Structure 1
Amino acid sequence: MPDNSADYEDEEGLISDFDDVDGHAARIWNLLVLINPGDEETALRQFDDWRETMAEEADDPESERWFEVLAEAIDWTSGFHVAADDVEALVTALDELAGRWNLRIDWGGDLDDEDFADAVDVPTLMGVAYDGLREHGYSLWTWNTGGDGHAGWVALSRDDEAMLALCSLLGVEVRPASDPF
Protein backbone atom coordinates (compact mmCIF):
# COMPACT_ATOMS: atom_id res chain seq x y z
CA MET A 1 0.00 0.00 0.00
CA PRO A 2 1.21 3.58 0.00
CA ASP A 3 3.49 2.89 2.98
CA ASN A 4 5.27 0.08 1.14
CA SER A 5 3.88 0.35 -2.36
CA ALA A 6 7.23 -0.37 -4.00
CA ASP A 7 6.88 -3.94 -2.77
CA TYR A 8 3.61 -4.45 -4.63
CA GLU A 9 3.38 -2.04 -7.55
CA ASP A 10 4.00 -2.87 -11.17
CA GLU A 11 5.39 -0.33 -13.63
CA GLU A 12 2.03 1.52 -13.71
CA GLY A 13 1.80 1.82 -9.92
CA LEU A 14 -0.94 -0.79 -9.54
CA ILE A 15 -0.76 -3.31 -6.74
CA SER A 16 -0.99 -6.77 -8.20
CA ASP A 17 -0.15 -9.12 -5.31
CA PHE A 18 -3.30 -9.28 -3.19
CA ASP A 19 -2.03 -12.21 -1.11
CA ASP A 20 0.39 -10.03 0.85
CA VAL A 21 -1.87 -7.04 1.52
CA ASP A 22 -5.46 -6.41 2.49
CA GLY A 23 -7.23 -7.18 -0.79
CA HIS A 24 -10.06 -4.68 -0.38
CA ALA A 25 -7.79 -1.78 0.57
CA ALA A 26 -5.38 -2.71 -2.23
CA ARG A 27 -8.23 -2.59 -4.72
CA ILE A 28 -9.26 0.84 -3.42
CA TRP A 29 -5.66 2.01 -3.86
CA ASN A 30 -5.60 0.63 -7.41
CA LEU A 31 -8.83 2.43 -8.25
CA LEU A 32 -7.43 5.69 -6.92
CA VAL A 33 -4.30 5.23 -9.04
CA LEU A 34 -6.49 4.69 -12.11
CA ILE A 35 -8.65 7.78 -11.54
CA ASN A 36 -5.65 9.96 -10.71
CA PRO A 37 -3.37 9.23 -13.67
CA GLY A 38 0.02 10.79 -13.16
CA ASP A 39 -0.98 12.16 -9.73
CA GLU A 40 0.00 9.65 -7.06
CA GLU A 41 0.08 12.41 -4.44
CA THR A 42 -3.66 13.01 -4.84
CA ALA A 43 -4.35 9.26 -4.87
CA LEU A 44 -2.36 8.89 -1.64
CA ARG A 45 -4.19 11.78 0.03
CA GLN A 46 -7.57 10.32 -0.98
CA PHE A 47 -6.54 6.86 0.16
CA ASP A 48 -5.46 8.21 3.54
CA ASP A 49 -8.74 10.12 3.87
CA TRP A 50 -10.68 6.98 3.00
CA ARG A 51 -8.73 4.80 5.45
CA GLU A 52 -9.00 7.36 8.25
CA THR A 53 -12.75 7.77 7.83
CA MET A 54 -13.31 4.03 7.62
CA ALA A 55 -11.22 3.49 10.77
CA GLU A 56 -13.29 6.09 12.62
CA GLU A 57 -16.62 4.64 11.50
CA ALA A 58 -16.18 0.89 11.74
CA ASP A 59 -13.72 -1.90 12.28
CA ASP A 60 -14.83 -3.59 9.06
CA PRO A 61 -13.13 -1.98 6.01
CA GLU A 62 -15.65 -3.71 3.78
CA SER A 63 -18.65 -2.19 5.53
CA GLU A 64 -21.61 -1.04 3.49
CA ARG A 65 -20.43 2.57 3.58
CA TRP A 66 -16.98 2.03 2.07
CA PHE A 67 -18.00 3.27 -1.39
CA GLU A 68 -19.87 6.29 -0.05
CA VAL A 69 -16.76 7.25 1.93
CA LEU A 70 -14.63 6.79 -1.19
CA ALA A 71 -17.00 8.94 -3.26
CA GLU A 72 -16.71 11.69 -0.65
CA ALA A 73 -12.91 11.45 -0.68
CA ILE A 74 -12.69 11.92 -4.48
CA ASP A 75 -15.58 14.35 -5.04
CA TRP A 76 -14.68 17.46 -7.09
CA THR A 77 -11.04 16.35 -7.35
CA SER A 78 -11.09 12.99 -9.10
CA GLY A 79 -14.80 12.35 -9.39
CA PHE A 80 -18.20 14.00 -9.59
CA HIS A 81 -21.72 13.48 -8.33
CA VAL A 82 -24.52 15.70 -9.64
CA ALA A 83 -28.30 15.74 -9.53
CA ALA A 84 -30.01 14.11 -12.50
CA ASP A 85 -31.11 17.45 -13.94
CA ASP A 86 -28.20 19.69 -12.91
CA VAL A 87 -26.56 20.39 -16.26
CA GLU A 88 -24.58 23.35 -14.91
CA ALA A 89 -23.05 21.33 -12.06
CA LEU A 90 -22.08 18.56 -14.50
CA VAL A 91 -20.37 20.95 -16.89
CA THR A 92 -18.54 22.67 -14.02
CA ALA A 93 -17.42 19.36 -12.52
CA LEU A 94 -16.24 17.84 -15.80
CA ASP A 95 -14.48 21.05 -16.83
CA GLU A 96 -12.66 20.90 -13.50
CA LEU A 97 -11.70 17.24 -13.98
CA ALA A 98 -10.54 17.79 -17.57
CA GLY A 99 -8.55 20.81 -16.43
CA ARG A 100 -6.32 18.52 -14.39
CA TRP A 101 -4.72 17.50 -17.71
CA ASN A 102 -5.07 20.89 -19.40
CA LEU A 103 -7.96 19.63 -21.50
CA ARG A 104 -11.03 21.54 -22.52
CA ILE A 105 -14.32 19.86 -23.39
CA ASP A 106 -16.21 21.26 -26.38
CA TRP A 107 -19.80 21.09 -25.18
CA GLY A 108 -21.22 22.03 -28.57
CA GLY A 109 -22.76 25.22 -27.29
CA ASP A 110 -22.93 27.69 -24.44
CA LEU A 111 -25.06 27.04 -21.36
CA ASP A 112 -25.76 30.78 -21.24
CA ASP A 113 -27.67 30.33 -24.51
CA GLU A 114 -31.20 29.43 -23.41
CA ASP A 115 -31.94 27.44 -26.56
CA PHE A 116 -28.83 25.30 -26.07
CA ALA A 117 -29.39 24.86 -22.33
CA ASP A 118 -33.00 23.78 -22.90
CA ALA A 119 -31.99 21.26 -25.57
CA VAL A 120 -29.44 19.30 -23.48
CA ASP A 121 -29.60 17.12 -20.42
CA VAL A 122 -27.04 15.46 -18.16
CA PRO A 123 -26.86 12.11 -20.02
CA THR A 124 -26.42 13.88 -23.38
CA LEU A 125 -23.62 16.04 -22.04
CA MET A 126 -21.93 13.03 -20.44
CA GLY A 127 -21.82 11.46 -23.89
CA VAL A 128 -20.36 14.66 -25.36
CA ALA A 129 -17.70 14.73 -22.64
CA TYR A 130 -16.95 11.03 -23.15
CA ASP A 131 -16.32 11.57 -26.87
CA GLY A 132 -14.23 14.69 -26.27
CA LEU A 133 -12.04 13.07 -23.63
CA ARG A 134 -11.52 9.91 -25.70
CA GLU A 135 -9.89 12.07 -28.38
CA HIS A 136 -7.17 12.82 -25.82
CA GLY A 137 -6.75 9.28 -24.45
CA TYR A 138 -9.11 9.52 -21.47
CA SER A 139 -12.34 7.74 -20.62
CA LEU A 140 -15.21 9.22 -18.68
CA TRP A 141 -16.84 6.56 -16.51
CA THR A 142 -20.16 6.67 -14.72
CA TRP A 143 -21.13 4.52 -11.77
CA ASN A 144 -24.53 3.46 -10.61
CA THR A 145 -25.65 5.83 -7.84
CA GLY A 146 -28.75 3.81 -7.13
CA GLY A 147 -30.71 7.05 -7.31
CA ASP A 148 -31.57 9.93 -9.57
CA GLY A 149 -28.10 11.49 -9.69
CA HIS A 150 -25.15 10.88 -11.98
CA ALA A 151 -21.60 10.22 -10.79
CA GLY A 152 -18.29 9.13 -12.21
CA TRP A 153 -14.61 9.71 -12.78
CA VAL A 154 -12.00 9.94 -15.52
CA ALA A 155 -9.17 7.49 -16.25
CA LEU A 156 -6.78 6.81 -19.09
CA SER A 157 -8.46 4.99 -21.98
CA ARG A 158 -5.65 2.44 -22.05
CA ASP A 159 -6.86 1.35 -18.60
CA ASP A 160 -10.44 0.59 -19.67
CA GLU A 161 -10.11 -3.17 -19.17
CA ALA A 162 -8.38 -2.71 -15.81
CA MET A 163 -11.16 -0.33 -14.72
CA LEU A 164 -13.88 -2.84 -15.60
CA ALA A 165 -12.05 -5.73 -13.92
CA LEU A 166 -11.24 -3.77 -10.78
CA CYS A 167 -14.73 -2.36 -10.39
CA SER A 168 -16.14 -5.85 -10.85
CA LEU A 169 -13.93 -7.09 -8.01
CA LEU A 170 -15.11 -4.19 -5.85
CA GLY A 171 -18.76 -4.78 -6.74
CA VAL A 172 -19.14 -1.30 -8.25
CA GLU A 173 -21.25 -1.15 -11.39
CA VAL A 174 -19.57 1.18 -13.89
CA ARG A 175 -19.96 1.86 -17.57
CA PRO A 176 -18.60 4.33 -20.09
CA ALA A 177 -20.36 7.69 -19.79
CA SER A 178 -21.45 7.36 -23.42
CA ASP A 179 -24.03 4.96 -21.94
CA PRO A 180 -24.86 6.50 -18.54
CA PHE A 181 -27.11 4.95 -15.93
Structure 2
Amino acid sequence: MLRAATSALALMVTALSVAAPVRARSLLDYVGQCVPFARAASGIQIFGDAWTWWSQAEGRYARGHVPRPGAVIVFARTSRLPLGHVAVVSRVVEKRVVMLTHANWSRQNGERGHAEQDVTLYDVSDRNDWSDVKVWFRDNEGLGGSTYPVNGFIYGGTPARELTGVAPDYVGALIDAYVPDTKGR
Protein backbone atom coordinates (compact mmCIF):
# COMPACT_ATOMS: atom_id res chain seq x y z
CA MET A 1 0.00 0.00 0.00
CA LEU A 2 2.78 2.43 0.90
CA ARG A 3 4.53 1.57 -2.34
CA ALA A 4 1.36 2.33 -4.36
CA ALA A 5 0.84 5.65 -2.54
CA THR A 6 4.44 6.64 -3.14
CA SER A 7 4.14 5.79 -6.85
CA ALA A 8 0.90 7.76 -7.16
CA LEU A 9 2.48 10.76 -5.43
CA ALA A 10 5.50 10.57 -7.73
CA LEU A 11 3.19 10.51 -10.77
CA MET A 12 1.28 13.57 -9.50
CA VAL A 13 4.48 15.52 -8.87
CA THR A 14 5.73 14.61 -12.34
CA ALA A 15 2.42 15.64 -13.93
CA LEU A 16 2.40 18.95 -12.07
CA SER A 17 5.98 19.74 -12.98
CA VAL A 18 5.30 19.03 -16.66
CA ALA A 19 2.07 21.06 -16.68
CA ALA A 20 3.45 24.00 -14.71
CA PRO A 21 5.00 26.76 -16.84
CA VAL A 22 8.76 26.96 -16.59
CA ARG A 23 10.03 30.46 -15.89
CA ALA A 24 13.16 31.39 -17.76
CA ARG A 25 15.71 32.82 -15.40
CA SER A 26 17.13 36.19 -16.25
CA LEU A 27 20.65 36.28 -17.60
CA LEU A 28 21.33 38.78 -14.82
CA ASP A 29 20.43 36.20 -12.15
CA TYR A 30 23.52 34.25 -13.17
CA VAL A 31 26.14 33.39 -10.54
CA GLY A 32 29.29 31.62 -11.71
CA GLN A 33 32.33 32.02 -13.94
CA CYS A 34 32.76 34.63 -16.68
CA VAL A 35 33.13 32.15 -19.56
CA PRO A 36 29.68 30.50 -19.53
CA PHE A 37 28.12 33.90 -18.89
CA ALA A 38 29.91 35.53 -21.85
CA ARG A 39 28.93 32.62 -24.08
CA ALA A 40 25.25 32.98 -23.11
CA ALA A 41 25.28 36.79 -23.27
CA SER A 42 27.09 37.06 -26.63
CA GLY A 43 26.07 33.93 -28.53
CA ILE A 44 29.75 33.30 -29.31
CA GLN A 45 30.32 29.58 -28.92
CA ILE A 46 33.85 29.27 -27.60
CA PHE A 47 34.78 27.05 -24.65
CA GLY A 48 37.76 26.88 -22.32
CA ASP A 49 39.56 29.38 -20.12
CA ALA A 50 38.92 33.03 -20.92
CA TRP A 51 42.51 33.77 -21.96
CA THR A 52 42.24 31.11 -24.73
CA TRP A 53 39.25 32.73 -26.43
CA TRP A 54 41.33 35.12 -28.53
CA SER A 55 43.33 32.38 -30.25
CA GLN A 56 40.31 30.06 -30.46
CA ALA A 57 38.32 32.76 -32.30
CA GLU A 58 40.91 32.99 -35.09
CA GLY A 59 39.33 31.68 -38.28
CA ARG A 60 35.95 31.15 -36.59
CA TYR A 61 34.87 34.67 -35.67
CA ALA A 62 35.91 38.15 -36.75
CA ARG A 63 38.34 39.80 -34.34
CA GLY A 64 39.49 43.37 -33.91
CA HIS A 65 40.34 46.27 -31.63
CA VAL A 66 37.19 48.39 -31.88
CA PRO A 67 34.42 47.85 -29.32
CA ARG A 68 30.93 47.08 -30.66
CA PRO A 69 27.77 46.13 -28.77
CA GLY A 70 27.60 42.35 -28.44
CA ALA A 71 31.36 41.85 -28.92
CA VAL A 72 33.31 39.83 -26.38
CA ILE A 73 36.35 41.58 -24.96
CA VAL A 74 39.16 39.17 -24.09
CA PHE A 75 41.37 40.16 -21.16
CA ALA A 76 44.89 38.73 -21.33
CA ARG A 77 46.19 36.23 -18.83
CA THR A 78 48.14 37.96 -16.02
CA SER A 79 49.23 37.19 -12.47
CA ARG A 80 46.04 38.93 -11.25
CA LEU A 81 43.89 37.16 -13.88
CA PRO A 82 45.56 33.75 -14.29
CA LEU A 83 42.62 32.47 -16.36
CA GLY A 84 42.01 35.80 -18.11
CA HIS A 85 38.53 37.31 -18.24
CA VAL A 86 35.83 37.72 -20.87
CA ALA A 87 32.99 40.22 -20.86
CA VAL A 88 30.44 41.46 -23.38
CA VAL A 89 30.20 45.06 -24.62
CA SER A 90 26.68 46.25 -23.83
CA ARG A 91 26.98 49.90 -24.97
CA VAL A 92 29.54 52.14 -26.61
CA VAL A 93 29.45 55.47 -24.77
CA GLU A 94 32.24 57.23 -26.65
CA LYS A 95 35.65 56.57 -28.19
CA ARG A 96 37.35 55.48 -24.95
CA VAL A 97 34.40 54.50 -22.76
CA VAL A 98 32.09 51.51 -23.11
CA MET A 99 29.75 49.61 -20.83
CA LEU A 100 30.17 45.89 -20.19
CA THR A 101 27.90 43.18 -18.99
CA HIS A 102 29.86 40.40 -17.32
CA ALA A 103 30.06 37.98 -14.40
CA ASN A 104 32.53 37.13 -11.66
CA TRP A 105 34.23 40.50 -11.27
CA SER A 106 32.97 42.51 -8.27
CA ARG A 107 31.71 41.04 -5.03
CA GLN A 108 27.99 41.25 -4.29
CA ASN A 109 26.74 40.30 -0.86
CA GLY A 110 30.29 39.22 -0.03
CA GLU A 111 30.69 36.77 -2.92
CA ARG A 112 32.04 36.79 -6.45
CA GLY A 113 30.39 35.32 -9.51
CA HIS A 114 27.35 37.55 -9.90
CA ALA A 115 26.40 39.14 -13.21
CA GLU A 116 26.71 42.92 -13.56
CA GLN A 117 25.03 44.95 -16.29
CA ASP A 118 26.33 48.15 -17.94
CA VAL A 119 29.62 48.43 -16.03
CA THR A 120 32.08 51.15 -17.09
CA LEU A 121 35.18 50.09 -19.01
CA TYR A 122 37.75 52.76 -19.80
CA ASP A 123 40.50 52.54 -22.44
CA VAL A 124 43.69 53.79 -20.80
CA SER A 125 46.08 52.61 -23.52
CA ASP A 126 48.70 55.04 -24.76
CA ARG A 127 47.63 54.55 -28.39
CA ASN A 128 43.85 54.59 -27.77
CA ASP A 129 43.66 51.01 -29.06
CA TRP A 130 41.92 49.23 -26.15
CA SER A 131 45.07 47.27 -25.30
CA ASP A 132 44.95 48.44 -21.65
CA VAL A 133 41.76 49.11 -19.69
CA LYS A 134 40.37 49.93 -16.27
CA VAL A 135 37.11 48.35 -15.10
CA TRP A 136 34.47 49.70 -12.73
CA PHE A 137 34.68 47.76 -9.47
CA ARG A 138 31.63 47.58 -7.20
CA ASP A 139 33.75 47.13 -4.07
CA ASN A 140 35.12 50.67 -4.28
CA GLU A 141 32.20 52.14 -6.28
CA GLY A 142 34.43 53.37 -9.06
CA LEU A 143 37.11 52.37 -11.50
CA GLY A 144 39.49 49.90 -9.97
CA GLY A 145 43.11 50.91 -9.49
CA SER A 146 44.47 48.14 -11.71
CA THR A 147 45.11 48.31 -15.43
CA TYR A 148 44.42 45.13 -17.40
CA PRO A 149 45.90 44.17 -20.78
CA VAL A 150 43.38 43.19 -23.44
CA ASN A 151 43.85 41.00 -26.53
CA GLY A 152 40.92 42.53 -28.39
CA PHE A 153 37.26 42.01 -29.29
CA ILE A 154 35.54 38.99 -30.83
CA TYR A 155 32.54 39.75 -33.06
CA GLY A 156 29.77 37.69 -34.55
CA GLY A 157 27.44 36.21 -31.99
CA THR A 158 23.77 36.93 -31.36
CA PRO A 159 23.67 38.95 -28.11
CA ALA A 160 21.09 38.27 -25.41
CA ARG A 161 18.25 40.77 -25.10
CA GLU A 162 19.29 41.54 -21.50
CA LEU A 163 22.76 42.64 -22.50
CA THR A 164 22.04 46.27 -21.65
CA GLY A 165 19.62 48.07 -19.39
CA VAL A 166 16.73 50.25 -20.49
CA ALA A 167 18.32 53.43 -19.15
CA PRO A 168 22.10 53.01 -18.79
CA ASP A 169 23.93 55.78 -16.95
CA TYR A 170 26.05 57.32 -19.72
CA VAL A 171 26.89 60.34 -17.57
CA GLY A 172 27.96 58.10 -14.71
CA ALA A 173 30.14 56.06 -17.07
CA LEU A 174 31.84 59.21 -18.36
CA ILE A 175 32.37 60.54 -14.84
CA ASP A 176 33.80 57.17 -13.74
CA ALA A 177 36.23 57.23 -16.65
CA TYR A 178 37.31 60.85 -16.82
CA VAL A 179 36.87 62.03 -13.23
CA PRO A 180 37.86 58.93 -11.31
CA ASP A 181 38.55 60.65 -8.00
CA THR A 182 35.05 62.06 -7.44
CA LYS A 183 34.54 59.94 -4.30
CA GLY A 184 37.25 61.72 -2.30
CA ARG A 185 39.85 58.96 -2.45
TM-score (ref. length: structure 1)? 0.28
TM-score after normalising by structure 2:
0.28
Give the helix-richer structure, 1 or 2.
1
Larger Rg, first or second structure (1 or 2): 2
